[in-house]
Amino acid sequence: MSTPTAAYSVRLRVRLPNVPGALGRLSVALGEIGANIVGLHGFEAKGPVLDEDVIVNCSDAAHIEQLRETLVALDGVEILDFADRTFEMHAGGKIHVLATVPIVDRDDLSMAYTPGVARVCTAIATDPALAHTLTIKKNTVAIVTDGTAVLGLGDIGPEAALPVMEGKALLFKSFADVDAFPVCIDTSRDETPQDKVDAIVETVRRIAPVYGGINLEDIAAPACFEVEERLRDLLDIPVFHDDQHGTAVVTLAALENSLKLVGKHMEDLRVVISGAGAAGVAIAKILMAAGVRDVIGCDSRGAVTRERDDLNSAKRAFAELTNPSGTSGSLKDVLPGADVFIGVSGPDLLDADDLRKMATDPIVFAMANPDPEIRPEVAEGLVAVMATGRSDYPNQINNVLAFPGIFRGALDAGATTVTEGMKVAAAEAIAAAVPEHELDAENIVPSVFDRQVVELVAAAVAGAAVTDGVTR
């Protein structure tokens, strides 16, 4: 059974007999099914009965149902309330709009709205650049998706993608004070893949006047590559596909710190990437920009090579950039001798024997979610550094270390795009957030709750924007 987690947390209110041992028997029953009591939020004794509020973590949805069945079957226990805390958190949505100025009298109203607002409109019509200082554009980002590649759920559509986009907006505001809003585009009635790409591009182009930046999210490959490329050409504001570049930035930061531990250098590495989608391609590009010369990408059919005739346009371009020796074969065939494995693909693709065939002091980033390409428990003792995309293991490679600070810096600098230099600067800032004396195999990236990370990344990105000459 997987480890209980807050993602499958239940809030209980139960009524027990007010006798010695009643709460203990409840605790034992929950422990026997692997549920973890993480909070007792108060109790109320009412004569012969005791009402108790309990927070219980489970491991998955089936485990929650097992918990309910266990409570129903337990003698003397009455369930007064049983609520999934994750669904409770999402009730009514996770974000809303707040006013930044008060409206308390006619004077306020006449300045914030008509007639005074007309003067501001006229000023912007005369000088459109003023929209970046006199409107929400200065600090607002659109989180754009079509819902075709949501988490590990796949193509679930724009409505079902909305909770994820709300969560992204919540992170933007909480970590970087950036006002972000979901823009979930329905492309289901567009007949061809090209029609769907065109619909996203045209929609974003039309709504762009409101926003200071565009965060593309959960758009399936290869469409995501064309969407980003075309929008970057059309718009004079930063366009950033976080599934590609956010993952790549944090991966580079983690690798930079890992190399300090194993005494290797970028130019000497042999890197194998499992996953040739949006994240895999972006990781390969940023690693090669950082000095890595030998990168082999693999998809479900094996190594991506120039000789394969089954590649889409994005993978053909990927093949041209990588695998200089033309190595072919399955993931397991090409992994022996590799210094680094990076997984952005699927669960349980590797085993302990695969790791034993890697180079000395191998570095393994198994980032598939929720189940990695190989679990840390399996890799223990066989790797020098292990990282995943999960919060319940050390070294979580999480995009939230990157995108809030990248957009904060880009907006503050008045950047018109996001350059490779800005991405590398972000990675270096994330890596530097772990002090040398704290760096070890279980601490190669800072915590997502380390508030200095956003400040460091924002400053580095803003500086790089100025250096690269892309500020307004």
Q: Averaged over 292-307, what is the pLDDT?
A: 93
Q: CA angle 438-440-442, nearest 5°?
A: 110
Query: Are 400 and 448 contacting, i.e. CB atoms less than 8 angstroms apart?
Result: yes
> Which strand ranges, in their side-by-side order, compose the sheet holding 302-303?
302-303, 294-299, 270-274, 340-343, 363-366, 385-388
Distance CA(430)–CA(249), nearest Å, equals: 9
Mind listing the pLDDT tens digit for each residue in 151-187?
A: 878 899 999 999 999 999 999 999 999 999 999 999 9
Is 393 assigned a catalytic role? no
Q: Decide which of 63 and 317 is more confident.
A: 63
β pairing state of 294-299 and 302-303:
antiparallel
Q: Which residues contact 316 (CB under 8 A, 6 or more apart)?
A: none
Beta strands in 201-312 (DSSP E): 213-216, 239-241, 270-274, 294-299, 302-303
Residue 45: the pLDDT is 72
Q: List the one residue out of 353, 346, 372, 326 whose CA is nearest residue 276.
A: 346
CA distances from 134 to 131, 177, 407, 414 (A): 5, 18, 19, 14
**The pLDDT of residue 64 is above 70:** yes
CA distances from 236 to 180, 184, 227, 409, 460 (A): 18, 22, 15, 16, 21
Residue 93: the pLDDT is 94
Residue 247: the pLDDT is 93
The DSSP line for 327-347 is: --S-HHHH-TT-SEEEE-S-S
Distance CA(175)–CA(294), nearest Å, equals: 36
**The pLDDT of residue 56 is above 80:** yes
Q: For residue 125, give the 3-state DSSP assignment.
A: helix
Point out the catalytic residue in the list 8, 46, 137, 168.
168
Residue 366: the pLDDT is 96
Radius of gyration of the chain (CA): 25
Chain centre to alpha carbon of residue 369: 10
Q: What is the pTM of this model?
A: 0.89
**The pLDDT of residue 409 is above 70:** yes
Distance CA(215)–CA(156), nearest Å, equals: 19
Query: Are 360 and 227 contacting, i.e. CB atoms less than 8 angstroms apart?
Result: no
Query: Are 146 and 200 contacting, i.e. CB atoms less than 8 angstroms apart?
Result: yes
Is 168 assigned a catalytic role? yes
Residue 370: the pLDDT is 79
Q: Decide which of 386 and 393 is more confident.
A: 386
Q: How confident is the model at residue 94 (pLDDT cuts 50, 70, 90)?
A: very high
**The pLDDT of residue 301 is above 80:** yes
Handedness of CA 311, 314, 319, 322 (dihedral sign): negative
Mind listing the pLDDT tens digit for each residue in 420-456?
A: 999 999 999 999 999 999 999 999 999 999 989 999 9
Q: List the one residue out of 318, 361, 367, 319 whose CA is nearest residue 342.
A: 367
Cα dihedral value 111, 113, 114, 120, nearest 10: 70
Q: How confident is the model at residue 1 (pLDDT cuts 50, 70, 90)?
A: low
Q: CA angle 408-121-114, nearest 5°?
A: 115
Q: List the one residue out of 118, 170, 120 whose CA is nearest residue 143.
A: 170
Phi, then psi, of 439 in degrees rounded to 5: -70, 125
Q: Averaged over 136-158, what is the pLDDT?
A: 93
Residues above pLDDT 90, as percent of the chain:
83
Chain centre to alpha carbon of residue 266: 25
